[in-house]
Chain A
Amino acid sequence: MNQKNFNTIGIGVTFSPNLKANICQSARLALLFKASLVLIHVGEASKEKTATFDSYLAPFLKDGLRAKVVFSPGEPVGAILESVKQNGVDLLILGALQRENFLKYYIGSIARKITRKASCSVMLLINPSIESLPCKHIVVNGLEDEKTPLTISAAFFVANALSSEKITIVEEVYNTDIGNVQDDKSLRKSTLLKEKISRREDSRIQKILEDIPQKHKKNKLVATQPIFGKRGYSIGHYAEVARADLLVMNAPKASGFWDRLFPHDLEHILTELPTDILIIQ
């Protein structure tokens, strides 16, 4: 299995109140992943800007961080995606915004577009902080999908880098699979079916887990959890319920006009951002 590693981390930076926190967080991650950091700023270069970035980066540079700042003027979405390609960024970090007076987060339309179109993995931070916060519990999807093994192995890689204590792999069981419960008979049938599906899913996940290198699994609590809900949405709900610190998900399939109109999968999660999210490409 191809092991996922992040060599170059990119972050889109604008002069928002969160700037320092965003830079600190991504610099920390770059150190943990042993990757280099690229600050992408949409706009013309100027001395003051560079000075500000440098002042925030300084403490991390001392610790051995390799970082550079890229100025790319133009239309934000295209500009960022272009710099990502040019600099060989394989993990792009985007900061979320907080709704006024609410403990709710959302990402702006630009970040959303980037997430959809990006060719690299994307990490969405809902609560970037200047201080380092531990990432204890990682939730990762276990969908039956060709991308899943890669996503799970990436989750273990991240968990190892962040020294997380627990990883939960969530298998989503859909209503269409378990039939309609109408009376006792169909209930029994559906309960049995549920167990069967849960077992089947579990063995599938266990197979994926076997391929994960031992060193990544060391000292970690690995759990699986089947949930019953709507694909792509319920996992976010679960992450919230389970108080996860990071949710790792497959990259979405190409989303068309209809998906936008009837949101599903990732779209739900992007509107509600239950935790920090890592989308593996």
Chain B
Amino acid sequence: MSSKKNNIHSFFSELPKNIFSGFVVSLIALPLGLGLAMASEAPPISGIIAAVVGGLMVSILGGSHVTISGPGNGLVGVLLVAITTLGIQGAYAAIICSGVLLILLGFLRMGKLADFFPSSAIQGMLAAIGLIILGKQFHIMLGNKLSLDGSVDYLLAIPETIQGAFTYADSGLTFAAVSGVLSLAIMVFYSKIRNQYLQLIPAPMWIVLLSVGFSYYYEIVLQQPNPINAMYMISGIPSAQQIVADIPVPSFIGVGSLSFWTSVLALTLIASIESLLSIKAVDKLDPQKRRSNVNRDLKALGLATIGSGFLGGLNVVTVIARSSVNVNNGGSNRSANFMHALFLVIFIVLFSTQLTRIPLPALMAILVYTGYKLASPTLVRKIFSVGKEQLLIFFTTLLVTLFVDLITGIIAGVVITFIIHVLVNKGASFFIRNFLKPNVLMFQEKENGNYYVSVKHFCSFLNFYKLKQKLEDVPQDKDVVVDFSMCQFVDHTVMENISGYQDVFAKRGGHFEVIGLDLHGTDSKHPFALRKLIPGLKKKRGALTKRQLTLQEISKDFNLKYEPEKLEDIRFLDGFKHFSTKQIERLYNRLFNTENTFKLFDIKYSEGEFIAKEDVRTTMLHIELDAAIPRFTLDQEGFLEKVSSLAGFKDIAIKKHADFSNRFYLRGDDDLAIQHFFTDTLVLFFESNPYYHIESNGTSILVYSKERVAGVKEIKSLHDFGKRLQNELLLCTQNKV
């Protein structure tokens, strides 16, 4: 009873944050929804309808916590085929049927469906979708609407379009192309500029705002018509009344045809895979570390898809980019998804005429960027680093998808993966003999309560679900040992998933260890980069850069050791709020003392996923303390902090130091302890010294200033500040005792 009350209480106390986050998400959902719908050659509003219906229904019925639902980019290719073959009304019927199938998948507990596909094949498929989106929209972005046969033809025509863009006779087209290129530039450079005011509005919304502003500038200030060719403006955004009046009637005439059901199957397959992958990725970002009920989510998504289809909207799926924006902006429960839908409704009701001022090329630039992200060369390089055969799987899936279609593509990916596995093991009988065997054993060791999982025979995408089922049964704050020593063959899909589990367990306070793979690398010629994904393999030491040499020098002055290589064990950063929604990728260039209690280091981490992913490199100082102190974060108080304090983040005031409270933004769970901890001398210390972000996780503190790597001089002053802070805290804790 009391826990229920607590839930309601925390729901309302977190509501302001979720409203804010829902608002930010709606800013990105609006242009994406319009763009994705237009890329599928559906009416632009259908994307918004999908987002609204999805947001409202999935937030109420779904089983995940911080995901956002709406039209997905993976579906563009399939929807395009469906709409061209069945017509838009037939496509709505297909969407409705795929919703029914999704519900069915949910009831059949097929949340594990996505595990049956090799990860390189899924990546190949997503890359192909990315290329389909990129290839088609690139031309519109440069003001050159084309109508070609296959998605490959669009890609091949790109050079021509680029050449053509310089020779437009019509200045309207040139303006269209310029708006497209500028928008693309905004998408590309947005994450490179770390400015908190700029970052408040997501890049796609900047594009919308700037282009609408541009159009008003011509209309009101210059009193001229918009210079962009009218053919390249968004058309056909109906007002709210029109949407309600013109709800399309789905046509089930094609229900008997083969092409109808191929479309339904493809829609269901891609919608479920995209959703399941997104849910899995978003669960990793959730700061509260809850796990989603995927089957319940599938049912909710299916129901939302049916509703969306009847109202003239596209398929509803869980989307990764918008979800990660949600997490980054403090979304903490499903109300954020609900609010994002409500804000979209408000936008359409209030601004539907303004939306027609957005140039098409600008909108398509967003999609081109999305497509590029799905098929970026970094991805290819990453796959290549895992192994050549993964690249073969990747490209087979990619090419078959591009030249034939999605379903054939993913089947080809599965088949080629199996063929490679057979070749590696020199025979299929090994797989056939052991496929049906229950090869996973789990038990809890009596002595220490650790979970021990032993896997026999082989473990690949074919039977990974068996292992997964066992791993899911383990509370993620416990210790798990997975033993592959009796397993003769482990494939890349499994290794990748296993390393995902390692992340999740580490974040939730558990420990996930993999043993028994050491032999595999040596006694058999297993390729599959088996040990590459397992931490512990050192890279070759390259030549040091100038900065690294200087760091080496100053380390001597400070009596510290210097280590330029990557540090694998980053558990000392667990428990810091700053990293709760971030993925640490690399920690390197360490300066540390002999006890390893005082470390200066460069760190690379990323926030968000997919197109909302931003890489940050910065320099930090970590000091381990002898005594426990309260958990807190201390920031400079700025405009943003004032705003966010309205949205439910509270600032702890220190008595008798109004000036300190004005200048600094202090947060923490235990107000009293923090107020007690911030003594006069400590307050004075912070007031009289240069300003840094400071965070305490209870036993150690983290100090950093900028979201970029510090120069040598800055490192020196950070070091100096850290030393003095350490002394100050030492005095503080000693006095307390």
- Whether a CB of chain A sits under 8 angstroms from the CB of B475 is yes
Complex Cα distance, B473 from A223, in Å, reads 24
- Whether a CB of chain B sits under 8 angstroms from the CB of A281 is no
> CB distance A181 to B473 under 8 Å?
yes
> CB distance B473 to A187 under 8 Å?
yes
> CB distance B441 to A180 under 8 Å?
no
Contacts of B486 in A (CB 8 A): 240-241
Known contacts: A226-B443, A226-B444. The answer to whether A184 contacts B438 by CB under 8 A is: no
- Whether a CB of chain B sits under 8 angstroms from the CB of A92 is no
Complex Cα distance, B456 from A186, in Å, reads 28
CB distance from B435 to the nearest CB of A (A): 12
> CB distance A227 to B290 under 8 Å?
no
CB distance from B158 to the nearest CB of A (A): 45
Complex Cα distance, B456 from A241, in Å, reads 10
CB distance from A267 to the nearest CB of B (A): 11
> CB distance A225 to B441 under 8 Å?
no
Contacts of A176 in B (CB 8 A): none
CB distance from B283 to the nearest CB of A (A): 10
> CB distance A234 to B475 under 8 Å?
no
> CB distance A230 to B438 under 8 Å?
yes
> CB distance A229 to B442 under 8 Å?
yes
Interface residues of chain B: helix, strand, loop or mixed (majority): mixed
- Whether a CB of chain A sits under 8 angstroms from the CB of B143 is no
Contact of B441 among A198, A224, A234 (CB under 8 A): A234
> CB distance B441 to A183 under 8 Å?
no
Total A-B contacts with CB atoms under 8 angstroms apart: 70
Known contacts: A187-B473, A228-B470, A233-B438. The answer to whether A182 contacts B63 by CB under 8 A is: yes
- Least CB separation from B283: chain A residue: A183
- Whether a CB of chain B sits under 8 angstroms from the CB of A112 is no
> CB distance A178 to B443 under 8 Å?
no
Complex Cα distance, B294 from A229, in Å, reads 23
> CB distance A184 to B291 under 8 Å?
yes
> CB distance A241 to B441 under 8 Å?
yes
Contacts of B438 in A (CB 8 A): 229-230, 233-234, 268
- Whether a CB of chain A sits under 8 angstroms from the CB of B111 is yes
Complex Cα distance, B547 from A210, in Å, reads 73
CB distance from A169 to the nearest CB of B (A): 12
Contact of B443 among A228, A233, A263 (CB under 8 A): A228
Contacts of B473 in A (CB 8 A): 178, 181, 187, 190-191, 194, 228
> CB distance A180 to B109 under 8 Å?
yes
CB distance from B49 to the nearest CB of A (A): 29
CB distance from B562 to the nearest CB of A (A): 43
Complex Cα distance, B468 from A175, in Å, reads 13
- Least CB separation from A268: chain B residue: B437
Complex Cα distance, B109 from A96, in Å, reads 42
CB distance from B426 to the nearest CB of A (A): 13
- Whether a CB of chain B sits under 8 angstroms from the CB of A4 is no
Complex Cα distance, B434 from A263, in Å, reads 12
- Whether a CB of chain B sits under 8 angstroms from the CB of A238 is yes
> CB distance A241 to B483 under 8 Å?
yes
> CB distance A227 to B483 under 8 Å?
no
- Whether a CB of chain B sits under 8 angstroms from the CB of A216 is no
Complex Cα distance, B439 from A238, in Å, reads 11
Contacts of A190 in B (CB 8 A): 473
Interface residues as binary, A209-240 with B (CB distance below 8 Å gives 1, 0 otherwise): 00000000000000111111110011001101
- Whether a CB of chain A sits under 8 angstroms from the CB of B284 is no
Contacts of B294 in A (CB 8 A): 182
CB distance from B292 to the nearest CB of A (A): 6
Known contacts: A187-B473, A225-B446, A237-B454. The answer to whether A182 contacts B441 by CB under 8 A is: no
> CB distance A227 to B446 under 8 Å?
no
Complex Cα distance, B452 from A227, in Å, reads 10
Complex Cα distance, B470 from A194, in Å, reads 13
- Whether a CB of chain A sits under 8 angstroms from the CB of B293 is yes
Interface residues as binary, B533-565 with A (CB distance below 8 Å gives 1, 0 otherwise): 000000000000000000000000000000000
> CB distance B295 to A182 under 8 Å?
yes
> CB distance A183 to B443 under 8 Å?
no
CB distance from A199 to the nearest CB of B (A): 13
Interface size on B, residues (CB 8 A): 30
Complex Cα distance, B577 from A275, in Å, reads 51
Interface residues as binary, B475-509 with A (CB distance below 8 Å gives 1, 0 otherwise): 10000000100100000000000000000000000
CB distance from A189 to the nearest CB of B (A): 11
User: Which of B294, B443, B446 counts the most A-chain CB atoms under 10 A from its CB?
Assistant: B443
Contact of B296 among A182, A198, A234, A238 (CB under 8 A): A182
Contacts of B296 in A (CB 8 A): 182-183
- Whether a CB of chain A sits under 8 angstroms from the CB of B282 is no
Contacts of A188 in B (CB 8 A): 475
Complex Cα distance, B438 from A233, in Å, reads 7
Complex Cα distance, B296 from A194, in Å, reads 23
- Least CB separation from B457: chain A residue: A272
Contacts of A181 in B (CB 8 A): 472-473
Complex Cα distance, B291 from A181, in Å, reads 10
CB distance from B279 to the nearest CB of A (A): 11
Complex Cα distance, B296 from A175, in Å, reads 20
- Whether a CB of chain A sits under 8 angstroms from the CB of B365 is no
- Least CB separation from B294: chain A residue: A182
Known contacts: A178-B473, A191-B475, A228-B473. The answer to whether A183 contacts B293 by CB under 8 A is: yes
- Whether a CB of chain A sits under 8 angstroms from the CB of B440 is yes
Contacts of A226 in B (CB 8 A): 443-444
- Least CB separation from A229: chain B residue: B441
> CB distance A187 to B442 under 8 Å?
no
> CB distance B437 to A225 under 8 Å?
no
- Least CB separation from A223: chain B residue: B446
Contacts of B470 in A (CB 8 A): 228
> CB distance A228 to B290 under 8 Å?
no
- Least CB separation from A190: chain B residue: B473
Interface residues as binary, A239-275 with B (CB distance below 8 Å gives 1, 0 otherwise): 0110000000000000000000011000010000000
> CB distance A183 to B63 under 8 Å?
yes
Complex Cα distance, B470 from A229, in Å, reads 9
Complex Cα distance, B470 from A223, in Å, reads 23
> CB distance B454 to A183 under 8 Å?
no
Contact of A227 among B63, B439, B442 (CB under 8 A): B442
Complex Cα distance, B475 from A190, in Å, reads 10
CB distance from B516 to the nearest CB of A (A): 11
> CB distance A182 to B454 under 8 Å?
no
- Least CB separation from A231: chain B residue: B438
User: Which of A183, A194, A262 counts the most B-chain CB atoms under 10 A from its CB?
Assistant: A183
For chain B residues 281-307, which have a beta carbon within 8 Å of chain A? 290-296
- Least CB separation from A173: chain B residue: B443
CB distance from A205 to the nearest CB of B (A): 13
Contacts of A241 in B (CB 8 A): 441, 452, 454, 483, 486
User: Which of B109, B438, B440, B483 counts the most A-chain CB atoms under 10 A from its CB?
Assistant: B438
CB distance from B610 to the nearest CB of A (A): 24
For chain A residues 140-185, which have a beta carbon within 8 Å of chain B? 175, 178, 180-184
Complex Cα distance, B474 from A178, in Å, reads 12
> CB distance A183 to B291 under 8 Å?
yes
Contact of A238 among B292, B441, B475, B483 (CB under 8 A): B441
> CB distance B441 to A227 under 8 Å?
yes
Complex Cα distance, B378 from A155, in Å, reads 60
Beyond A182-B296, A184-B290, A238-B441: 13 further Cβ-contacts under 8 Å? A178-B473, A180-B109, A182-B293, A183-B291, A187-B473, A188-B475, A198-B444, A225-B446, A229-B440, A230-B438, A237-B454, A241-B483, A241-B486
Chain A residues in contact with chain B, CB under 8 A?
175, 178, 180-184, 186-188, 190-191, 194, 198, 223-230, 233-234, 237-238, 240-241, 262-263, 268
> Can you give 6 contacting A-B residue pairs, CB < 8 Å?
A187-B472, A190-B473, A228-B441, A233-B437, A240-B486, A241-B454
9 nearest A-B residue pairs (beta carbon): A230-B438, A183-B293, A227-B443, A237-B441, A182-B293, A228-B442, A229-B441, A234-B441, A241-B454
Chain B residues in contact with chain A, CB under 8 A?
63, 109, 111, 290-296, 436-444, 446, 452, 454, 456, 469-470, 472-473, 475, 483, 486
